Chains A and B, each alone.
Chain A
């Protein structure tokens, strides 16, 4: 079973998994065990910040799985990410209990504020962590299943598919802005207190969340890799490169697409669930179409169809974003815009793709 995940492992994949394992152990240690005065100490805010990057990296891996290997450019993956985030946020909201402003034992503050008398059915059982975890995976998967079933069955492809995925996340954005939806409306869910009985603010919890995110990124990477190197993955690449031809060869293209789309959505949902406790808020703006497109550029920068590149791109671009918005806020959008243009023009295979082709090492898959 384990061996299945490590089939056809090349040096890059091995290096990536070892790197993730290393930081999953090292960063919490440097944060918690090393005294604050030491030059090796990592402050807690940095742990959360890099935890956020890793959650984005998982989203990027999920996106790369469908875009890089199956040619489905989803401009709505932010929706799956946000849905996973909302599922986790609902669990965290229920954990607040009587510590809210209105001190209602059951209802979250915003419901008391809206004069609601009882919990909507969508919130039932979210006080159980296990149920929330199931929902984190289930809700994005079911949405992807229904949406993908409609879209792939009627052969909506290419830019058309991109546009309707964008419309999907836009519709959800509008829906979650509504107070009647019962998900906190404009303000979303925030002011979390604890997770599994541990304070979300505590440095130990933060370090644990960071390590967990790194572990899930590694797991997501292994699952995605296992998919793409399998026979199934080869069919996906065939669909990406020549969809009609693959269909004529007798493969049920829509079933392949649907499966990989659902797996990717579930992965994005998990990424969202890891993201929310680390940033401490989830609101409808996570559904904004621009967020989903930004995720696409992470993958493009790192190199699509490489998985490692997607994760790398997510971390690099977000690091640059944090750095630039701190230094020169007005230049971030110029930088991001230029990144979109320059990467598509001059770096179509992304950083990893450019490096592997320069040094003559065959990548796995490679860009279209």
Chain B
């Protein structure tokens, strides 16, 4: 019983195999021979036949033909492919012939043959084992909308197991069907719906080309409905995109402002050289990258992780120096501090200009910062994503320092009431010096991030300083959450105003709004309560 079953089963398998193999080996050379001619019409027909044959060699042959590397021997109509090294390969067997063929004529191309070739190759890659290639082929069909691809598409849609690839196939088919005037009405209506689901700019353009001239009323109304759906979807998408840009700008502002927030919060002084600390961080990144480029290029992707602690140290040390040499002598005179630090900023700018030159310096992006992540039309550049993540990491690290360390405790005590803190034994000059170094160091870290999205030039700091002040003033002093909220809301407001009012006018409106806002809440969103503030 078992034995008979096995025999039956093997016969069945054999039959299936026989049925599945479309053309047997000896037919293969017949199909190939149709190309061995100089009649363009026959070549065109041969190309289509070869594509439909499903032969394993057909892709290689057609590619060779497209590249004009295909030749034939008129005596026996055997095809040969010239390989990249200049040798010959027998097309039928896919092996080098025993002796070099002679008297070859190349298979010629004209535009009709080329078009047939493209369609053939396109429909063949629809069957490629690599899903990415199948998707690319489907997208090519979506763009070309060649009616000849309809038959192969129907075949592959039936076979396709991968739901993602299948969706692409169906969308390609819908694109072909939508404008095919001889297709059944129901199919075309369904095609319009399908494109509406796809919902991108290309589909919208396609649906827009459906008019009474090339479709029935039902199809037109279906296309209109689908187009409306796409439009509202795209509007939503652009809102999301604006929000993303705003978030990204906000994170940049957060990075630039957060160091300022703590120095301003703790010491009550305006550090006009803060922007230059950011600039120093950016130049540190540049120097690190230059050294890596010349000495150990393989470490290039590590340049930013290496630059971050270095930038922190460079800017932090410069900050410490400024505090010890200049600011220490000006406590209690915030306006004078403002002027002196402005002088520091001029000197630092000119120093960097003397050392590195006045031109922009090129800071490269490591591989993980490059590229775009496409979420159905919603594009996220990795660089921006990393900066958002990075700014949040810096923010929470700083929050941790403020809440969790003894330095943070002392800093908060000094923010709340400097004289009381001093009376309790906190050495406020030490706290001031460390705060200033910390704030400057954080600015240096911000410079590493900004070097990725902005020009590294001596003026880098200047372009951020006013915005940073506004963030700090808007968010309120002495509260990091206020800085976070201030930075993000300014970033979002900026990006949402931009499309409405234009970049410059948007910025002016925002400045006016902030100036008005400060009238209502002179100490920012999150003002510290208590008498200590009103000094």
Contact = CB atoms under 8 A, between A and B. Distances in A.
Contacts of A166: 466, 469
A171 B511 contact: yes
Interface in B290-331: 326, 329-330
A68 to B, nearest CB: 11
A178 interface: yes
Contacts of B511: 167-168, 170-171, 174
Given A163-B473, A167-B470, A170-B466, A154 B522 contact: yes
Given A150-B516, A174-B504, A344 B350 contact: no
Interface string A139-151: 0000000010011
A113 interface: no
A296 B346 CA distance: 15
B519 A167 contact: no
B335 A330 contact: no
Given A178-B505, A340-B342, A154 B470 contact: no
Nearest to A165: B515
Contacts of B466: 166-167, 170, 289
Interface residues of B, number: 46
Contacts of B370: none
Contacts of B528: none
B534 to A, nearest CB: 8
Contact of B346 (A147, A330, A340, A345): A340
Given A151-B519, A154-B522, A341-B326, A164 B347 contact: no
A337 interface: yes
A128 B514 CA distance: 37
B519 A344 contact: no
Contact of B334 (A159, A175, A289, A339): A159
B331 to A, nearest CB: 12
B344 to A, nearest CB: 6
A330 B353 contact: yes
A103 B34 CA distance: 77
A340 B516 CA distance: 31
B343 interface: yes
Given A156-B518, A170-B466, A345-B326, A162 B270 contact: yes
A330 B342 CA distance: 18
Contact of B345 (A159, A160, A337, A339): A337
B515 A168 contact: yes
A314 to B, nearest CB: 15
Nearest to B351: A334
A336 B338 contact: no
A158 B507 CA distance: 24
B339 A344 contact: yes
Nearest to A288: B462
A185 to B, nearest CB: 11
Contacts of B421: none
Given A154-B519, A344-B330, A334 B350 contact: yes
B335 A333 contact: no
A224 interface: no
B522 A345 contact: no
A153 B346 CA distance: 34
B520 interface: yes
B382 to A, nearest CB: 31
Interface string B184-197: 00000000000000
A22 B469 CA distance: 46
B512 interface: yes
B354 interface: yes
A34 interface: no
A308 B473 CA distance: 35
Contact of A341 (B333, B340, B518): B340
B336 interface: yes
B508 interface: yes
Nearest to A300: B339
Interface string B505-535: 1011001101110111011000000000010
A147 B512 CA distance: 10
A343 B340 CA distance: 8
B149 interface: no
A289 B333 CA distance: 21
A297 interface: yes
Contacts of B344: 337, 340-341
A178 B504 contact: yes
Interface of B: 268-270, 326, 329-330, 333-340, 342-351, 353-354, 462, 466, 469-470, 473, 504-505, 507-508, 511-512, 514-516, 518-520, 522-523, 534
Interface of A: 73, 147, 150-151, 153-156, 158-160, 162-164, 166-168, 170-171, 174-175, 177-178, 244, 289-290, 293, 296-297, 300, 330, 333-334, 336-341, 343-345, 348, 368
22 contacts: A150-B515, A159-B335, A162-B270, A162-B335, A166-B466, A167-B469, A167-B511, A167-B514, A171-B507, A171-B512, A175-B504, A177-B504, A178-B504, A297-B343, A334-B346, A336-B346, A341-B343, A343-B339, A344-B337, A344-B339, A345-B326, A345-B340
Closest 5 CB pairs of A and B: A340-B343, A337-B346, A337-B347, A333-B350, A171-B511
Given A160-B473, A167-B515, 16 more contacts: A73-B338, A151-B518, A154-B520, A154-B522, A159-B335, A160-B523, A163-B470, A164-B514, A171-B507, A171-B511, A175-B504, A175-B505, A178-B504, A297-B343, A340-B343, A340-B344
